[in-house]
């Protein structure tokens, strides 16, 4: 498996950084997606799984492993929102605006439970798809707290903690996150099949 290329189908630099950290133990070369593919990425599925499969199926990269992930925050009290619309919940691609909208919509809500979901779709050398899912349960804070991380990290408190993802730091967040749980399953698969 030494230095075999694997490409993450994403232009999200925060996501890429997290995967570089998660892939440290593997002798794989994690590559970012070439900018020339940018106009090809569509995400119009109605589930995290559909979006992950759609992303990984659109990029014509052969003779290597490619994977894509779709993830988001699910809040049962808001009928599952932001869900698959997590990135643009406020109407724009702005994390602070998204967080403010969630906090506003949660003002009179007593059930503050929430969870992050990540679904990874891997396309292997034969073009076959494999799916891996991770989930992290927690609660929505009443304000934005913390300076690390991205997205909804400043308002999400994972179960068993008194701090938001944005307060925990990358090392601790990576250990318990939905992305880590899905990536761990992906890594176990790659250890056996690459």
Among residues 70, 93, 94, 111, which one is catalytic?
70
For the chain, the residue count is: 194
The closest of 172, 166, 136, 139 to 154, measured between CA atoms, is 166
Residue 27: is the preceding peptide bond cis (ω within 30°)?
A: no
Structure tokens at 92: 């724009």
> Could you tell me which residues come within 8 angstroms of residue 147 by beta carbon, excluding any fewer than 6 positions away?
154, 166
Cα 83 from chain centre: 12
Rounded CA separation 58/160 (Å): 39
For CA atoms 75, 41, 122, 191, the dihedral sign is: negative
Phi, psi of 170 (to 5 degrees): -60, -40
- Respond yes or no: is residue 70 known to be catalytic: yes
Pull the structure tokens for residue 29. Answer: 């070369």
Tell me the catalytic residues: 70
């Amino acid at each position: 498996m030494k230095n075999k290329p694997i490409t993450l189908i994403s232009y999200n630099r925060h996501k890429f950084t997290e995967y570089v950290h998660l892939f440290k133990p593997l002798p794989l070369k994690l590559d970012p997606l070439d900018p020339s593919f940018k106009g090809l990425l569509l995400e119009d599925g109605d589930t995290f799984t559909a979006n992950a499969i759609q992303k990984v199926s659109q990029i014509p990269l052969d003779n290597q492993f490619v994977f894509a992930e779709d993830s988001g925050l699910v809040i049962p009290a808001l009928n599952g929102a932001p869900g698959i619309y997590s990135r643009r919940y406020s109407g724009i691609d702005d994390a602070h605006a998204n967080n403010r909208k969630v906090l506003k919509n949660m003002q009179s809500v007593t059930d503050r439970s929430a969870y992050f979901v990540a679904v990874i779709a891997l396309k292997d050398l034969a073009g076959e798809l494999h799916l891996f899912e991770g989930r992290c349960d927690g609660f929505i804070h009443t304000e934005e707290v913390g300076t690390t991380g991205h997205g909804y990290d400043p308002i999400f408190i994972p179960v068993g903690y008194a701090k938001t993802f944005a307060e925990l730091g990358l090392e601790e967040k990576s250990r318990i996150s939905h992305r880590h749980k899905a990536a761990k399953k992906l890594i176990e698969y790659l250890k056996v099949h690459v």
